[in-house]
Amino acid sequence: MAGRRRASKHGVVVLCLLLASLVACGGRPTAADTAKADVQRVLDRRATAVLDRDKAAIAETGTASWFEDVSAVPLASWSYKVTGVRRSGSTATADAELRYQVQGYDSAPVAVARTLDLSLDASDQWYVVGEKPAEKAPQQLWDQGEVTVVRGTHSLVLGVGQSGERLHSFADLADRAVPAVSDAWGTEWSRHVVVLVPRSVEGMAGLLGSPASSYRGIAAVTTGETGAPAQAPADRIIVNPDAYGLLGAVGGQVVLTHETTHVATRADTTAATPLWLSEGYADWVGYRGTGRTPAEAAPELGEAVAERRVPTVLPSDADFGFAGSATALAKSYESGWMACRMIADRWGEAKLGAFYRAVGTHTKRPGAVEEAMAKVLGTDLKAFTAEWRAYLRAQLG
């Protein structure tokens, strides 16, 4: 009996230790856990106030001065998900994912990483002191100042530090680009575009999360997911206002039409699509109908051909990097454009579109171009390259 009682006491001790362990591990929330839940509740209220356009309600959760910057943006959704909180006494820094949708354009939320600074107010409630992009995350347009919105027939133009007149000019360019792209590519795409016009090239770089030096001579870029699913955020055409100001009327239209082509072809552009094809096709649509000759539209490549430096291969993806020589980059774009122009001239515009789509049906690069050339154009890469080099001599020599 005595032995049994001793065993029973040991069992009680073990059980007590086990219960203590369970309470320490998860039975009682820690201060950090409580702060995270409390901050989430504050940000939920803040998100609701943003959607309601209720500045007073936003002010109840923290600073509201930034709301003027975003208030004109047509929002369909806005929410935060707190992923971590670092508390130090009455202050805290929260990491969160902001998810938002632009009404009528985004069929799925844009997700961006944000950092929020908070402090406890007099009633011991968390109060948002400031919000900014997380480290290495891109800015949103309203991070750069008050957003002005201009609506076109086929476009939504959002700008910071730009006059209404200038933003309307971009809406006009986009509204001409959309039907031009549909005429070349077809109408099975959204047929509207979102254009972001920051104050400067530095603002453009901030939206892209990259150094401004990478975009000095680039008039615009388009962001989006290749092979995009049906439910996805709309592509953003991001303008470099500094470089755009140097373009003439035709050049400005070519650039917007080029970028709009990327929006239209996004679902058929995959990892298998080489940049000479995606950029060359976008240039082909951009120049289509302008009457610009190869000599006018491809001066760098024309100079190389005139000096008997005809390229021996189609440009690689690496040749399209922004960090290299501006002359070499221009020659790569011109080479891709001439390849697509040759397909349209030799096989017809419909075959060019079919070739683009056929390449994009593959999930990987190896063999994709070759198979599409055989299937759609009835040729192989070696013969195509030889014909392209002869085409360059004939058109630019």
pLDDT in tens, 197-244: 999 999 999 999 988 888 888 899 999 877 656 678 899 999 999 999
- Domain enclosing residue 132, as ranges: 31-137
Q: State the pLDDT confidence band at 249, using cuts at 50, 70 and 90.
A: very high
Helices (H) and strands (E) in the chain, counts: 15, 9
Residue 277 lies in a domain: yes
Q: For the chain, how many structural domains are there in total?
A: 3
Q: Are residues 246 and 257 in the same domain?
A: yes
**Which of 137, 172, 202 delimits the end of a domain?**
137
Classify residue 57: in a domain, yes or no.
yes
**C-alpha to C-alpha distance for 281 and 377, rounded to whole angstroms:** 16
Q: What is the pTM of this model?
A: 0.88
Residue that terminates a domain, selected from 112, 137, 162: 137
Q: What is the pLDDT of residues 94-122, one digit of tens each?
A: 999 999 999 999 999 999 999 999 999 88
CATH of the domain at 118: 3.10.450.50
| Residues 362 and 251 occupy one common structural domain | no
297 and 353 housed in the same domain: yes
Looking at 74, 108, 137, the residue that finishes a domain is 137
Q: Is the pLDDT of residue 61 over 60?
A: yes
Q: Round to whole Å and give the CA distance between 59 and 98.
A: 19
Q: Are residues 145 and 243 in the same domain?
A: yes
- Answer whether residue 17 is part of any domain: no
Residues 275, 392 share a domain: yes
Place of tokens 């040991």: 10
Could you tell me which of 261, 291, 292 has the C-alpha nearest to residue 277?
261
Q: Does pLDDT of 312 surpass 80?
A: yes
Q: Do 342 and 387 contact (CB within 8 A), yes or no?
A: yes
Q: Are residues 243 and 277 in the same domain?
A: no
Residue position matching structure tokens 């021996």: 312
Cα gap 339→282, rounded to integer Å: 12
Torsional class of 314: left (φ above 0), alpha (ψ -120 to 50), beta (otherwise): beta
Q: Over 90: is that where the pLDDT of 353 sits? A: yes
284 shares a domain with 262: no
* Mean pLDDT across the chain: 90
Flag whether 367 is in a domain: yes
In sequence order, the β-bridge partners of residue 79 are 99
24 within domain boundaries: no
